[in-house]
Amino acid sequence: MKTYVEIFVSSEGMKASEILDKLTKMGFKPSFGEQDFVYHWSKKVVLPEILNFVDKVQSKLKGAGVIMKFTTIK
């Protein structure tokens, strides 16, 4: 399974390079195309696990001035 995140940055928020650093430390890999980052799950996960992970990403980027769009696929 994979979770993709698309990031919308603000000129008033955190630098894109800082966002890259924070997300890669969480296990995301940069991606090209519609999504900016991808997280590869090591196992099949269920919705509560995905939501918990999204909560962690939100906490990590709190105050960064970003809007995020998450998509998880099998």
Could you tell me the residue ranges of all domains in the chain? 2-73
The single-letter code of the amino acid at 11 is S
pLDDT tens digits, 21-61: 999 999 999 999 889 999 999 999 999 999 999 999 999 99
Task: Please answer whether residues 61 and 14 qualify as being in contact, where contact means their C-beta atoms are separated by less than 8 angstroms.
Answer: yes
What is the structure's pLDDT at 45?
Answer: 95
What is the structure's pLDDT at 73?
Answer: 95
Give the H/E segment covering residue 54.
Answer: helix 47-60
Indicate the class that CATH gives domain 2-73: alpha beta
